[in-house]
Amino acid sequence: MKPGSFVTFEGIEGAGKSSNISYAEMLLKNSGKPVMLTREPGGTPLGESLRELLLGHQHDGMSFKAELLLMFAARAQHLQSKILPALERGEWVICDRFTDATYAYQGGGRNLDSAVISVLETLVQGERRPDLTILLDLPVEMGLERAGQRSAPDRFEKEKLDFFERVRAAYLQIAGKDPQRVKVVDASLPLEQVQQQIKVVLAPFLESA
């Protein structure tokens, strides 16, 4: 059987990942693809437990290196027990965040060395990278305003504006270096127009898959 494709959605806080992942799922299912949705950190029982530690406030002040390692610990489990088996079964995996988030948040936001992140990426993933990454890009203030209309802020959401500016800049840098894989979508537009861009990005990909 032909292996499935690995699609990730990325973006700063409030970029609209959840809203647009549902739309992408609908497009894929309508063209007859089996789809599995998942998220990071999380996606497995171990990953979801690590997510609680990472996002909750019981470990406020966690070392940035501990945070980095926990992200990759969750990812190692996620790849082994969920993502790779699904791809081997021929499913399309749509993941809400993946390693680009680590480069953006721990690298850009926390100022950790991207060379170290790259070593961990290779350790955990080998050569495996997403086939397609949709980066939902919008001004930080707009993302925070959208996100702010929801529940109480988690450990990341409590960060200041300049943290998210660095995260956004890191994401755009990744996209600039790897335009073949990372497609930037203007997420500041109304939802229907964002979805239109996602449809355009996915179209050639669907045809060739």
Residues that bind ligand Z5A (CB under 6 A): 11, 13-19, 40-41, 55, 71, 96-97, 101-102, 105-106, 146-147, 149, 156-157, 187, 190-191, 194
Least spacing, CB of residue 104 vs ligand Z5A, in Å: 7
Smaller CB distance to ligand Z5A: residue 83 or 187? Answer: 187
Residue 208: CB minimum distance to ligand Z5A, A: 27
Sign of the C-alpha dihedral computed for residues 151, 156, 158 and 164 taken in this order: negative
Nearer to ligand Z5A, 91 or 121 (CB): 121
189 Cβ contact partners less than 8 Å away, ≥ 6 residues apart: 197
- Closest separation in Å from C-beta 156 to ligand Z5A: 3
CB of 87 to ligand Z5A, least distance (A): 18
**Quick one: 89 or 186, whose CB is closer to ligand Z5A?**
186
Q: Of 4 and 47, which CB lies nearer to ligand Z5A in the complex structure?
A: 47
Distances (CA, A) of 191 to 136, 175, 182, 183, 195: 11, 22, 20, 17, 6
- Sheet holding 92-96: strands in order across? 35-39, 92-96, 6-11, 132-137, 182-186
